[in-house]
Structure 1
């Protein structure tokens, strides 16, 4: 029976395992090989360079900018999307009915195309857009939204937060639903105010859902590409130059596939280390609240 159960388990898991091998494991191994070559993406021949690509990447201003930009996006995007998701989840949780309908409405941006969203925002923030015309005519403000390092990064962070808020709110709503109402009733009897109730009861009890949302949102910041590519191209002055933009530019614009593979490997290492450290910090918070 145990052998039969193991066989059935592997059988049901095989589609995902096959997908992972074809689209993740094989490309990863190929990238590792390419990262020590000078392949130009066109020629069938290439020479091995050892760790030369890695040394060159670590000294490249674009790669260094991508490292800093990723954490800037994290500092802007993660708090914003968490706060918005908590607000949306809290409002939907408090509805007497039609919760599913509202959740679907907030979830729809997650299904939208990043290219389409970026084009709409680009038109909305253009010089002759109604918004900028209103700001110039009413307040005398002439804002170059995508030409300033700070505002360009913030605009991209807001777009991505808008896209993911509904998805994360769906996870947090399930967390709200799992909290026993009797806990709030007991807290009310003890005279707990709204602020204490949120920070001392709701947030600790939301730890499993918050843990998931935080890890997912942090992972998103290491894969930002579409919005940056369409809106800023990594500019101005590398202010929005993400890892993905740097890899794309080196591989498909400069035709340095070997070097781009080295950048991709470095980005993967930074991603895994960053998420591991943050996960450990979150587990410390969970342990303090009795979850781990």
Structure 2
């Protein structure tokens, strides 16, 4: 009797978060599928079924195509750069014997800082008459448009996102490095392997599960680029920085086209799911100690 009560209590505790997950995550996703196949306007009482018409309209919209292109740039440029910098910092911090906690905190502070505040600080410093351009003029260089440039803006936003999330990647890699057996590196060093050979042949292969996790998390983060884009450029200039999530936001809450916004959300969901599965399929491999 006591055993049954124990299991009943365990399943009851598991049921509460499951119901929360279903009501907050699964049900809205399924409901968005329904909306994506309807002409769903907040200002209209009728929501007729239109099939794939919303998806067709999206791919005929140049701004939507630009948002897809920009989102892929965010991922292709941002993910490798963020992982590389995070790994390098983690490797350097691992070698420190003093002040390791101080530097960990220093690199992690941007991650817990308000994204809106960080975005506006960079926006102010990179204005046409901002601090950075004033410094460039004093050094004898031409002032730059930075966020006002169609060719520079997106890469500046990527750099800000990398800078703010680098503490998270650093912490993940540091945790992974602590799990790598020291005996392997010591044995390789005795056999004459240099630092680069030990890193390439021992450390990185054993970090593979951590690398996969970091890549998937970073990819999802860059695919969902929104706050930095909204606050730094609002998608401009000339839609050169608009992300897919910002496009969905404008479509839903500025133009009230919930049907097309839901269709764009389904496309984003498909991109996140397919890229995550592809990365796990390609990068995942069995680790033998």
Q: Does the alignment reach a TM-score above 0.5?
A: yes
Q: Contact 2:212–2:279 at 8 Å: present in 1 too? A: no
Q: 1:224 aligned to 2:214? A: no
Q: Displacement of 1:98 after TM fit?
A: 5.1
Q: Displacement of 1:232 after TM fit?
A: 1.4
What is the aligned partner in structure 1 of residue 258 from structure 2? 257
Q: Contact 2:150–2:238 at 8 Å: present in 1 too? A: yes
What is the aligned partner in structure 1 of residue 114 from structure 2? 113
Q: Could you tell me the TM-score, scaled by structure 1's length?
A: 0.91
What is the aligned partner in structure 1 of residue 35 from structure 2? 34
SS at structure 1 position matched to 2:165: helix
Q: Displacement of 1:57 after TM fit?
A: 1.4
Q: Could you tell me the TM-score, scaled by structure 2's length?
A: 0.92
Q: 1:133 aligned to 2:116? A: no
Q: 1:242 aligned to 2:243? A: yes
Moved more, 173-182 or 96-105: 96-105
What is the aligned partner in structure 2 of residue 65 from structure 1? 66
Distance in 2 (CA, whole Å) between partners of 1:213 and 1:147 is: 31
Q: Displacement of 1:272 after TM fit?
A: 0.9
Moved more, 181-190 or 8-17: 8-17
Distance in 2 (CA, whole Å) between partners of 1:153 and 1:10 is: 48
For residues 6-47 of structure 1, the C-alpha deviation after alignment (integer angstroms, 9 at most, x for no partner) is 544433333432331222122112211211222222334322
Q: 1:161 aligned to 2:162? A: yes
Distance in 2 (CA, whole Å) between partners of 1:60 and 1:173 is: 44
Residue-pair matches, total: 288
Distance 1:178 1:18, change over 3 A: same
Q: Contact 1:135–1:142 at 8 Å: present in 2 too? A: yes
Gaps of at least 5 residues in structure 1 are none
Distance in 2 (CA, whole Å) between partners of 1:156 and 1:2 is: 56
Q: Contact 1:40–1:255 at 8 Å: present in 2 too? A: yes
1:179-194 maps to which residues of 2 (within 5 A)?
179-194=180-195
Distance in 1 (CA, whole Å) between partners of 2:186 and 2:126 is: 48
Moved more, 272-281 or 94-103: 94-103
Gaps of at least 5 residues in structure 2 are none
Distance in 2 (CA, whole Å) between partners of 1:176 and 1:5 is: 39
Distance 1:290 1:114, change over 3 A: same
Distance in 2 (CA, whole Å) between partners of 1:4 and 1:153 is: 57
Q: Contact 1:57–1:263 at 8 Å: present in 2 too? A: yes
Distance 1:221 1:5, change over 3 A: farther
Moved more, 250-259 or 136-145: 136-145
